[in-house]
Structure 1
Amino acid sequence: MEWFAAENYDAARFVLQRGIALVYLVAFVAVLRQFRPLLGSHGLLPVPDHLARVGARAGPTLFRWRYSDRLALAVGWVGVAVAAALVAGLPQAGAPWVPLLAFLVLYGLYLSVVNAGQVFYGFGWESLLLEAGFLAAFLGSDGVATPVLVLVLFRWLLFRVEFGAGMIKMRGDRVWRDLTALYYHHETQPMPGPLSWFFHRLPRPLHKVEVAANHVAQLVVPFLLFLPQPVASIAAAVVIVTQLWLVLSGNFAWLNWLTMLLAFSAVGDRQLAAVVPTLAPALDSGAAEPGPWWWTVLVMTMTAAMVAMSWRPATNLLSKHQAMNAAYNRFHLAGSYGAFGSITRRRDEVVVEGTEDPDPATATWHEYVFRGKPGPPGRWPRQFAPYHLRLDWGMWFLALGSPSQHRWFTVLLRRLLEADRPTLRLLARYPFEGRAPQWVRARVFRYRFSTWEELRRTRCCWVRQEAGELVGPLDLASMRGPTD
């Protein structure tokens, strides 16, 4: 069945399976390190309270059966172990049902986390990882040919990511249409990277060229992914180069990394060998068998289901009221994607401070430093992606005035007053050597990147000015909230 088995895509399957598994590995490491202080029984938004409040509307999750912090850790460790096995290629050496089962375990465990994760897991790339992991389950093992239908579904997923992002930009904000978006983006993006300052300081005409090139990459190139080789591979290369540019210019968790992996679904073995001749012997493995009949039926059934579910995201792409990062079912399959439909023109940051002094009016205040978000002006941004710092992203939304963030932020202040160790471990640096402060407060500062002259003079990449107070001084006695 030549229409079912792809003979030119062994490398594509290799990269997709191991790459997606590696992203799952990173995601489950974040579960182990962040889930308990953010969402555990004593977390900022406890899962048991959330599930008791929303019930079945949360969607499928193992935690509805029962929740405990030990169970959350078990989910994280099982996810890490299964993902590591797939990265090593162990399940792929067996029958096709073995990697199928391994990826479905990853998908099911992470679905449980996302559906219980509330605002800390409310990002489009969570659904993207879930859908990519689900599709990867049907790529088969090394003993069977790569299914053409699954590769087409991967390209359709990539098309929704890229074309959806391009259309939401054109519809969402005039700065994308007049090519001035990068006058602001590198400075105001959620979590700048170590090179973001330099990207921001590039000449403005070059910024306009960058935006125009982005429009071509997202609005034209995705259609070429479905054309015969070598055009499809060239289109994939354009996507990969564009995403690498974004990786260098900022921290967007695993969004860019996963998008590059999806692009490999359009890269043919012969085209890859032409670029990297040393890979030619490894890619010349000969034709593989399509696999047993039940495998063919299973892949075709899954494909039909995904095609049926694709109606809503397809129509969304054409809608004047296009939704960005929309999930149309509780399984996070066949969703809509997109990013940065609008660009923030200025950067506000919430700075949290504490003091051990008894009188807040005359106190000396010390800053809590977060791992990724801007803090002290002299602290240069770090590279964290593809790892996702969920608390830091929440702080960015909080500074934008998002009301959904205020509930957990109040609890965060209380945890700081308690010097709660799991919460403090989410931070890069905290004052008082882990002792509990007497008071905490939160002030708002306006941030901008320093100029070349300011950088030379002060060695600070940021310049900040106080813009107001978000939360006045609080002590434990004054706090009454959801944890009481």
Structure 2
Amino acid sequence: MWHGEGYWLVRFLFQRALALIYLLAFLVAATQFRPLAGEDGLLPIDRYVEHATFRERPSLFYLVPSDRAIGLAAWSGVALSLLALVGAPYWLPDPYATPASMALWASMWLLYLSFVNAGQVFYGYGWESMLLETGFLAVFLGAGGVSPPFVVLLLLQWVLFRNMFGAGLIKLRGDECWRDLSCMEYHYETQPIPNPVSWFAHHRSKAFHRLETLGNHVVELAVPFLYFAPQPAAALAGAATIGFQGWLMVTGNFAWLNALTIVLAIATFSDGVLTAFLPITAPAAAPTPLYLEVLAIAVALLVVGLSVYPVKNMLSERQAMNSAFDPLHLVNTYGAFGSITRDRYELVIEGTTEEELTDDTEWRAYEFKGKPTDPEQRPRQVAPYHLRLDWQLWFAAMSPSPYRSPWFPRLLAKLLEGDDGVLGLLAENPFDEPPEHVRATRYRYRYTTPEERAETGRWWERERVGSYVQPMSLDEFEDRGPQRRRLR
């Protein structure tokens, strides 16, 4: 074997860690999918049904587009994830453990595929495809006292390689700041959802930022080739990847992107390496069942065939990042931060209970769970949980026009209606009763300097850029219809 003998313990740890990621993903679906993309969501599920075919984007919700089905699927996914987390298939005797494991992991994969394909822009992230690709391969790892098919571990390393190497390539081909090593001078301030450590990381020296940018290139462009090397080189490459992803988790909120990459890196280890450094022992495993070996080889052939377009894309000068090339998201292309924004823009949404608007009207801001609004609010740690609305507000703020975010006017209308589902996505609703008017203003945010923060206690300073949506009442929204709004 390429990486040494024994992978029972590697599989055991990998499955528990992946089950935890699935659990988070299904909890997010249970609490957020319906107000975002349900029957009466910001992007209603009927919109998905009307604009896609089942063959293009297969989902259970194409067949049953209802909130009841969404809730049932999400909470079923939570229950199945808990079974996987506690290793339920391992409780069964060996002739039944592997089939039970395959059924469990296949069910989770099918359920989550339904959410990703029906979630529209709110599920358009690279880590959704990566979870599906990883989850599909997990179906064929087996369980109980038998050894996992080694070829499946190689396929997991192949996912990890494309994730890391693709990210490295798109950076070199993208923003010039990756080539002159200055990108990290902007990244911590302008990333989608900063966390409490981001402010401190931003204020490190230029020399520190250049060194970490260079380190980023080494870990993403050189280290991945060692995933396929003999031990202990493969494990050292995996450890470097885990350390790199751990730093990203400490300094930012990227949902479960970093956590899932760490889970994939487990496949670069062997039982011998793990037992040498951890106070655990691996049991003697029986040979992999023949039927599982045959299935694993068939999956490997499928992956090889489906890898053609992702590899062509990865090597192309016009490389696209985070794209799926098949409706089942079996083999995908990945990448992150091919370009870095230099300025941070935020949308501040405010409401008022006053019916007549004057220059003295009192406006109160809605607070979100992750994205910055109040300059005095310390950035929050939310990852690996995924705040989908907050992420989309970061994208929306990049453009001065709300027309590029068709869900945004509907968000404002639901705030005027006092919609419980949408309000549940917020951290704070400043109104006991729905407001009479709402508006959205676009600001440019920057971190305070250490001197400014010592003096004011603020984490941010902000400058008003312009109106994003002028004050609107619910009657005005209804009178103007869904297609034409007085927006600018």
**Shorter chain as normaliser: what TM range?**
over 0.9
Following the alignment from structure 2 to structure 1, what is the Cα–Cα distance between the partners of residues 363 and 388? 26
- Residues 139-158 of structure 1 aligned to structure 2 (within 5 Å): 139-158=141-160
| Alignment match, 2:135 | 133
| 1:81 correspondence with 2:83 | no
For 2:162 and 2:403, locate their aligned partners in 1 and report how far apart those are by CA, in whole Å.
Answer: 27
How far apart in 2 are the matches of 1:173 and 1:404?
26
Structure 1 partner of 2:352: 355
1:261 matched residue in structure 2: 263
Structure 1 stretches of at least 4 aligned residues deviating more than 6 Å after TM superposition: none
Partner residue, 2:108: 106
Corresponding residue to 2:337 among 335, 340, 356: 340
TM superposition shift of 1:361: 2.6
Let me know the Cα RMSD of the aligned residues.
1.6
Tell me the secondary structure at the aligned position of residue 351 of structure 2. Answer: strand
Q: Confirm or deny that 1:119 pairs with 2:121.
A: yes
> Aligned partner of 1:305: which letter?
L
Verify the 8 A CA contact 1:93 1:141 in the aligned structure 2.
Answer: no
The alignment partner of 1:349 has SS state of strand
Shift of 1:169: 0.3
Give CA-to-partner distance per residue, 1:206-233, whole Å, 9 cap, x none. Answer: 1100000110000000000100000000
Amino acid aligned to 1:272: L
Q: How does 1:174-189 map to 2 (within 5 A)?
A: 174-189=176-191
1:50 deviates by 2.3
- Partner SS state of residue 294, structure 1: helix
SS in 2 for 1:164: helix
Structure 1: which 5+ residue stretches go unaligned?
Answer: none
Quote the Cα distance in structure 1 between the aligned partners of 2:140 and 2:90: 11
Distance 1:312 1:406 in 2: 30
Residue aligning to 1:381:
379
Look up the SS of the partner of 1:375 in the other structure.
Answer: coil
How much has 1:421 moved relative to structure 2? 1.0
Q: Number of paired residues?
A: 476
Q: Which sits farther off after the overlay, 312-321 or 194-203?
A: 312-321
Does the Cα contact within 8 Å between 1:92 and 1:140 map onto a contact in 2? no
1:328 matched to 2:333? The reply is no
Q: Is the 8 A contact 1:225 1:235 kept in 2?
A: yes
Aligned counterpart, 1:316: 313
- Aligned partner of 2:195 in structure 1 is 193
Equivalent positions of 1:169-248 (< 5 A) are 169-248=171-250
Is residue 2:44 matched to residue 1:42? no
Letter in 1 for 2:26: F
Q: 1:481: which partner in 2?
A: 481
**Contact 1:187/1:347 (<8 A) preserved:** yes
| Alpha-carbon distance in structure 2 between the residues aligned to 1:213 and 1:332 | 30
Whole-Å separation in 2 of the counterparts to 1:223 and 1:6: 18
| SS in structure 2 at match of 1:431 | coil
Offset at residue 407 of structure 1 (A): 1.1
Structure 2, unaligned runs of 5 or more? none
Confirm or deny: 8 A CA contact 2:402 2:468 kept in the other structure. Answer: no
Task: Give the C-alpha shift of residue 432 in structure 1.
Answer: 1.4
Separation (CA, whole Å) in 2 of partners of 1:251 and 1:27:
15
In the other structure, the counterpart of 1:452 is 450
Shift of 1:6: 7.6
Q: Check whether the contact 2:194–2:379 (CA below 8 A) recurs between aligned residues.
A: yes
- CA distance, structure 2, for counterparts of residue 26 and residue 126 of structure 1: 12
How much does 1:57 deviate?
Answer: 6.1
Q: Are residues 216 and 376 of structure 1, via their aligned partners in 2, closer, same or farther at CA, if it must alter by over 3 Å?
A: same
C-alpha offsets along residues 379-412 of structure 1, whole Å, 9 cap, x if unaligned? 0111111110000001000001186752100000
Does the Cα contact within 8 Å between 2:448 and 2:460 map onto a contact in 1?
A: yes
CA contact (8 A) 1:7 1:288 kept: no
Query: Which stretch shifts more, 212-221 or 62-71?
Result: 62-71
Task: Give the whole-Å Cα distance in 1 for the aligned partners of 2:155 and 2:473.
Answer: 54
SS of the counterpart of 1:146? coil
Pairwise CA distance, 1:273: 2.1
Which letter does structure 2 place at the counterpart of 1:414? Answer: A
1:306 equivalent among 303, 324, 337: 303
User: Match for 2:8: what amino acid?
Assistant: D
TM-superposed deviation, 1:430: 1.2
The answer to whether the 8 Å contact 1:6/1:147 transfers is no
CA distance, structure 2, for counterparts of residue 53 and residue 134 of structure 1: 26
Quote the Cα distance in structure 1 between the aligned partners of 2:342 and 2:81.
40
Matched AA of 1:165: A
Q: Is the Cα–Cα contact under 8 Å of residues 378 and 461 in structure 1 kept in the other structure?
A: yes
Cα distance change of structure 1 residues 404 and 477 upon mapping to structure 2, 3 Å threshold: closer
Q: Distance in 2 between matches of 1:403 and 1:168?
A: 28
Task: Look up the match of 1:159.
Answer: 161
Kindly provide the CA deviation profile for residues 33-67 of structure 1, in whole angstroms up to 9, marking residues without a partner as x.
Answer: 10111111111111023212333365110011121
Question: Aligned-pair distance for 1:269?
Answer: 1.6
Amino acid across the alignment from 1:359 = E
Partner of 1:354: helix, strand, or coil? strand
Following superposition, the deviation at residue 428 of structure 1 comes to 0.3
Give 1:481 deviation, angstroms: 3.5
Q: Find the aligned partners of 1:14 and 1:175 in 2 and give their Cα distance.
A: 41
| Structure 2 partner of 1:412 | 411
User: What code does the residue aligned with 1:329 have?
Assistant: D
- Say whether the 8 Å CA contact 2:184–2:213 is kept in structure 1: yes
Normalised to the residue count of structure 2, the TM-score between the two structures is 0.95
Q: Specify the alignment match of 2:421 in structure 1.
A: 422
What letter corresponds to residue 369 of structure 1 in structure 2? E
**How far apart are 1:483 and its partner, in Å?**
9.8
Matched with 2:439 is 441
Residues 352/57 of structure 1: CA separation in 2 closer, same or farther (3 Å cut): farther
Task: Report the Cα distance in structure 2 between the residues aligned to 1:116 and 1:250, rounded to whole angstroms.
Answer: 27
Worse overlay, 399-408 or 164-173: 399-408
Deviation at 1:19, TM superposition (A): 0.9
> 2:398 & 2:67 partners in 1: Cα distance?
31
Deviates more, 1:460-469 or 1:354-363: 354-363
> Using the alignment, how far apart are the partners of 2:294 and 2:429 within structure 1?
57
Tell me which amino acid in the other structure corresponds to 1:168.
I
For the Cα contact (< 8 Å) 2:199–2:447, is it kept in 1? yes
Question: Does the Cα contact within 8 Å between 2:5 and 2:270 map onto a contact in 1?
Answer: no
Amino acid of the residue matched to residue 423 of structure 1? V
SS of residue matched to 1:428: strand
Q: Secondary structure at the match of 1:445?
A: strand
Conservation of the 8 A alpha-carbon contact between 1:6 and 1:148:
no
- Percent identity over paired residues: 47
Aligned residues of 1:7 and 1:145 also touching (Cα < 8 A): no
Native 8 Å contact 2:4 2:231 kept in 1: no
